[in-house]
Chain A
């Protein structure tokens, strides 16, 4: 059994130690907001926060998160209220097909938690591990900038 916290809930999971964290989240815990785009840490669609740091959950064996605190996209909004980043993504048109959106929101949240006033350049750098094929990134950067003003 591996014990850890997901979105504020303490739980224990029965999985082989080398099971990928993404599979535990999606298949066992049914937290399907975390997406798999490549399975090799290139696209960032599976990004989750481990103790506040964004990581690709397709590269993390579940044994490695024992005792740690995980936030997935399902844990970003505070109950019924969307996070300012989520709100800004809607208003700025930063989500098109939506498959990369959870990863971007989780990564952007981590950025704003550690750097409350990033420049556009810093935003681009922070999001460079997340691939989007629909938007051209412009509206995603705009959304993070807009969220800054609310945050």
Chain B
């Protein structure tokens, strides 16, 4: 609040050098080497290439395919080729400009629809990162067949703080890595094969937004800063400039979804077949998991006896795509909800009534055969529709709303989102949390980072709630891997719901340890502390334990895909400017099941922030690639995110259908607000103008073109 929180660029170790990256100008080809400008003064410049890597040239994630620095071959434009360290940031950037990357370009493959089995090989034998098929039921009897194709582009996370990392050599030959990140333990796993040892500790600095963009990418930056720190023996700081961050780092996966459905005469869904093609970019990163979540959501929150879902994630010579809030679900839900509109249009039914007729109810099963209980689809739909009856608070922000050049529309969509990891993920990870009693205060030690979503507030609230003490007596310690146990990554809407549950358990263990130490049975925390004979800090560690309630088979993709689901209904009111094609948002109503809102202000902040990010995805956020696959609009002047003037009035409704497995009933809520708004906008545009857009983003150019092509 006073500007005293230290983000990575605010930290300046003594003798710190500044790092910069030399990148590939081409998408695909041979890397012949680099040439240094002989007229430039190189005396204070350090250079690192692939031959300086101590052990394996890999930034390990799910696979070992991505090198830290290109060696011999180039797989995508902007691929890191060499690294520079210099006494100042300006010197480092100047040096980069005096290096030429020598390449021999080959034909590149940029089109994901052409990738599978193409003669140009990027990954494996067939360019397929992952293929998934889910089948439930068989073929429907005769009915009305509706088919559609839905296409979504990249989206940039656009955390306001660009990526940044510092590596500091330690006296024992190891490294301390400090930076902007979601998952400190990922970095240790990623760098160990490259360094040939794991003598490092990773510390999260205050982090200026992540949204998935700081899940896996920081490992690459940490690898680079580490290589420079090893080469120079000095601390090295690397902070990306915005344009570099936009061109080089991961984005949401572009995706094409084809759906073929059959409904009977009453409008009930009888068959739903979906086929997904997802563009992973040049390396595997987390793409298989993103595809998994897309497939598990491409049925939508609707009941249907026969469902056949399949998908493939393929490689292209473009910068790798990666984690972004929603993680495959927003792409899938856009297709599902647009297809629901298409069916309603075809059979002449109101789109909301068509959804109401088909929405999933207690006892229905998902495509993987998971029987659902405590479903919330109808509850959030009714709640949102009620809330949307309220009169608008403010007059329209533009003249003549709904008249003349403005066409008014409303869109309503219904989504669900699987909370936490898929299947047995948590049982494999076994997230850990330690807790320490220090005097009268309690410290939580976890690797769950606060990236703006409020963990540093919510975790103390959970522990204080369990111990029945004031929240200000509980604090979250800094997230340094040297001090905290591995709680698993800060992703997948799992932190509050899963790790929060482990925090609650640790608090219970702490009380029990005090009871054992003092011989008292009291539950009064202060009474227990007062009865202690000494003040030695007391430490406990809790771990996630699989309670056996999840039955999931990863080989066949059957069973309980997620521990629970959240439900959300979006109602968006907007005007389309018929002269400019611009969409003007008037009001957004979101009704979302959160299980239990441990901190309602934080929950509402997540829901509202997710909604506006999704409205940006809907109409203004477009990544334009050139013929090399390089992002052309690599500035905030031309990659447009919503401002306070674009943002609508919001009505944020919190619905609580408790999940027995979450602390106090809480479900994961970070990602679900990203799912519903974009298709709601498409429906509202259709209602306002009659044009049908099945593509994201729905930019003014696309809207104008569609208006002009209208019969």
- Using CB atoms and an 8 Å cutoff, list the residues of chain A in contact with chain B: 26, 31-40, 42-43, 45, 72-74, 76-77, 82, 86, 89-90, 92-93, 95-102, 105, 120-121, 123-125, 127-141
Give chain A residues whose Cβ lies under 8 Å from the Cβ of B1. Answer: 77, 82, 86, 89-90, 95, 101, 105
How far apart are A102's CB and chain B's nearest CB, in angstroms? 5
B7 close to A (CB within 8 Å): yes
With both beta carbons as reference points, the residue of chain B lying nearest to A120 in the complex is identified as B394
Number of A-B contacts defined by CB within 8 Å: 152
- Contact across chains for A92 and B601 when beta carbons are under 8 A apart: yes
Complexed CA–CA distance, A131 and B161 (Å): 11
Complexed CA–CA distance, A77 and B394 (Å): 32
- Contact across chains for B650 and A32 when beta carbons are under 8 A apart: no
- Contact across chains for B608 and A136 when beta carbons are under 8 A apart: yes
How far apart are B619's CB and chain A's nearest CB, in angstroms? 15
With both beta carbons as reference points, the residue of chain A lying nearest to B608 in the complex is identified as A136
Interface bits B597-611 vs A (CB < 8 Å: 1, else 0): 000011011001111
Give chain A residues whose Cβ lies under 8 Å from the Cβ of B613. Answer: 133
Complexed CA–CA distance, A36 and B163 (Å): 12
Complexed CA–CA distance, A92 and B600 (Å): 11
B407 close to A (CB within 8 Å): no
Once A33-B3, A93-B601 are accepted as A-B contacts, the answer to whether A128 and B208 lie under 8 Å apart by CB is no
Scan residues 620-639 of chain B and give those whose CB is less than 8 A from a CB of chain A.
635-637
With A99-B7, A132-B644 given, name 18 new contacts (CB 8 A).
A26-B9, A32-B6, A32-B7, A32-B9, A37-B160, A40-B637, A77-B1, A77-B2, A96-B453, A97-B207, A123-B644, A124-B647, A127-B644, A135-B605, A136-B611, A136-B612, A138-B650, A139-B601
Give chain B residues whose Cβ lies under 8 Å from the Cβ of A35. Answer: 7, 9, 160-161, 208
Complexed CA–CA distance, A90 and B6 (Å): 18
Scan residues 168-217 of chain B and give those whose CB is less than 8 A from a CB of chain A.
206-211
- Contact across chains for B209 and A102 when beta carbons are under 8 A apart: no
How far apart are A32's CB and chain B's nearest CB, in angstroms? 4
- Contact across chains for B650 and A136 when beta carbons are under 8 A apart: yes
Other-chain contact of A99, B209, B242, B650, B652 (Cβ < 8 Å): B209
Complexed CA–CA distance, A138 and B242 (Å): 26
Give chain B residues whose Cβ lies under 8 Å from the Cβ of A129. Answer: 643
4 closest Cβ pairs, A-B complex: A33-B3, A97-B452, A99-B208, A136-B608
Complexed CA–CA distance, A20 and B671 (Å): 38
Other-chain contact of B160, A31, A43, A86 (Cβ < 8 Å): A43
Complexed CA–CA distance, A9 and B144 (Å): 76
Give chain B residues whose Cβ lies under 8 Å from the Cβ of A45. Answer: 160
- Contact across chains for B3 and A38 when beta carbons are under 8 A apart: no
B484 close to A (CB within 8 Å): no
With both beta carbons as reference points, the residue of chain A lying nearest to B636 in the complex is identified as A42
Give chain B residues whose Cβ lies under 8 Å from the Cβ of A135. Answer: 605, 608-609, 612
Give chain A residues whose Cβ lies under 8 Å from the Cβ of B636. Answer: 37-38, 40, 42-43, 131
- Contact across chains for A72 and B644 when beta carbons are under 8 A apart: no
Give chain B residues whose Cβ lies under 8 Å from the Cβ of A33. Answer: 2-4
- Contact across chains for A132 and B394 when beta carbons are under 8 A apart: no
How far apart are B335's CB and chain A's nearest CB, in angstroms? 25
How far apart are A48's CB and chain B's nearest CB, in angstroms? 11
Give chain B residues whose Cβ lies under 8 Å from the Cβ of A131. Answer: 160, 636, 641, 643
Give the number of chain B interface residues (Cβ < 8 Å).
50
Interface bits B534-555 vs A (CB < 8 Å: 1, else 0): 0000000000000000000000
Once A97-B208, A97-B451, A136-B647 are accepted as A-B contacts, the answer to whether A121 and B397 lie under 8 Å apart by CB is yes
With both beta carbons as reference points, the residue of chain A lying nearest to B162 in the complex is identified as A37
- Contact across chains for A96 and B454 when beta carbons are under 8 A apart: yes
Give chain A residues whose Cβ lies under 8 Å from the Cβ of B637. Answer: 40, 42
With both beta carbons as reference points, the residue of chain A lying nearest to B242 in the complex is identified as A38
B533 close to A (CB within 8 Å): no
How far apart are B648's CB and chain A's nearest CB, in angstroms? 9
B159 close to A (CB within 8 Å): yes
With both beta carbons as reference points, the residue of chain A lying nearest to B241 in the complex is identified as A39
Complexed CA–CA distance, A140 and B608 (Å): 11
Give chain B residues whose Cβ lies under 8 Å from the Cβ of A89. Answer: 1
Complexed CA–CA distance, A72 and B161 (Å): 18
B158 close to A (CB within 8 Å): yes
Give chain A residues whose Cβ lies under 8 Å from the Cβ of B605. Answer: 93, 96, 134-136, 139
Give chain A residues whose Cβ lies under 8 Å from the Cβ of B645. Answer: 124-125, 128
Complexed CA–CA distance, A92 and B211 (Å): 22
How far apart are B581's CB and chain A's nearest CB, in angstroms? 21
- Contact across chains for A96 and B452 when beta carbons are under 8 A apart: yes
- Contact across chains for A31 and B3 when beta carbons are under 8 A apart: yes
With both beta carbons as reference points, the residue of chain B lying nearest to A100 in the complex is identified as B160
Other-chain contact of B206, A98, A105, A137, A141 (Cβ < 8 Å): A98
Give chain B residues whose Cβ lies under 8 Å from the Cβ of A43. Answer: 160, 636
Complexed CA–CA distance, A139 and B292 (Å): 34
B10 close to A (CB within 8 Å): yes
Give chain B residues whose Cβ lies under 8 Å from the Cβ of A125. Answer: 645
Other-chain contact of B208, A32, A42, A98 (Cβ < 8 Å): A98
How far apart are A11's CB and chain B's nearest CB, in angstroms? 18
- Contact across chains for B2 and A141 when beta carbons are under 8 A apart: no
- Contact across chains for A137 and B612 when beta carbons are under 8 A apart: yes
B5 close to A (CB within 8 Å): yes
Among A33, A120, A136, A140, residue most surrounded by chain B Cβ atoms (within 10 Å): A136
How far apart are B396's CB and chain A's nearest CB, in angstroms? 11
Other-chain contact of A124, B6, B454, B609, B644 (Cβ < 8 Å): B644
How far apart are B395's CB and chain A's nearest CB, in angstroms? 9
- Contact across chains for A40 and B206 when beta carbons are under 8 A apart: no
Other-chain contact of B609, A31, A42, A134 (Cβ < 8 Å): A134
How far apart are A26's CB and chain B's nearest CB, in angstroms? 8
Can you list 29 pairs linking A and B with CB atoms under 8 Å apart? A32-B6, A32-B10, A35-B161, A35-B208, A37-B161, A39-B241, A77-B2, A82-B1, A92-B601, A93-B605, A95-B1, A97-B159, A97-B207, A97-B208, A97-B452, A98-B206, A99-B159, A99-B209, A101-B1, A105-B1, A121-B394, A127-B644, A131-B636, A133-B159, A133-B211, A135-B608, A135-B609, A137-B612, A138-B649
Give chain A residues whose Cβ lies under 8 Å from the Cβ of B161. Answer: 35, 37, 97, 99
Give chain B residues whose Cβ lies under 8 Å from the Cβ of A73. Answer: 2-3
Once A42-B635, A42-B636, A124-B645 are accepted as A-B contacts, the answer to whether A136 and B609 lie under 8 Å apart by CB is yes
Among A100, A120, A127, A132, residue most surrounded by chain B Cβ atoms (within 10 Å): A132
Give chain A residues whose Cβ lies under 8 Å from the Cβ of B208. Answer: 35, 37, 97-100
- Contact across chains for B609 and A86 when beta carbons are under 8 A apart: no
How far apart are A85's CB and chain B's nearest CB, in angstroms? 9
